[in-house]
């Protein structure tokens, strides 16, 4: 995503975040569900591990694929960071609005200054 985050995009990401399994998520290479390493979310499932499987990482040919581990680690890291990233995006949007207002005020002040300076 190379475009700036709009208010609508941030709202949609917040909606998706609230609809998703709450975390923190964890990439557990040692745990498996049917032979596939799993991504789990802590504290949201009743059971001995108090973790809920939220995704499985499959290997195409049964071998250990480093990309699968890297992808899973990235997914977990980003999922856990979503609330902070969205808060930062909201703050940046707020600061950009404030900056736009300050620029307008500065332009007005500069015009007024130029007009007064031009008076005889």
- Give the pLDDT confidence of 26-60 residue by residue, as tens digits: 877 666 555 566 677 765 554 445 566 777 666 66
Low-confidence ranges of the chain (pLDDT < 50): 46-48
How far is residue 26 CA from its own chain's centroid? 16
pLDDT number for residue 43: 55
Tell me, yes or no, whether 2 lies in a domain: no
pLDDT number for residue 94: 92
What predicted TM-score, i.e. pTM, was given to this entire model? 0.69
Three-state secondary structure along the chain?
Answer: CCCCCCHHHHHHHHHHHHHCCCCCEEEEEEEEECCEEEEEEECCCCCCCCEEEEEECCCCCCCCCHHHHHHHHHHHHHHHHHHHHHHHHHHHHHHHHHHHHHHHHHHHHHHHHHHHHHCC
pLDDT number for residue 28: 72
pLDDT number for residue 46: 46
Tell me, yes or no, whether 1 lies in a domain: no
Tell me, yes or no, whether 24 lies in a domain: yes
Tell me, yes or no, whether 22 lies in a domain: yes
The domain of 73 spans 7-118
Number of folded domains in the chain?
A: 1
């Amino acid at each position: 995503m190379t475009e700036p985050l709009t208010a609508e995009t941030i709202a949609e990401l917040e909606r998706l975040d609230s609809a998703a399994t709450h975390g923190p998520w964890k990439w557990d290479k040692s745990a498996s569900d049917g032979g596939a390493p799993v991504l789990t979310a802590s504290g949201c499932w009743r059971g001995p591990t108090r973790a809920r499987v939220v995704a499985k990482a499959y290997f195409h040919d049964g071998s250990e694929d480093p990309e699968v581990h890297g992808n899973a680690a990235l997914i977990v890291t980003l999922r856990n960071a979503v609330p902070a990233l969205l808060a930062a995006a909201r703050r940046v949007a707020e600061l950009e609005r404030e900056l736009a207002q300050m620029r307008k005020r500065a332009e007005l002040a500069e015009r007024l200054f130029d007009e007064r300076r031009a008076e005889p």
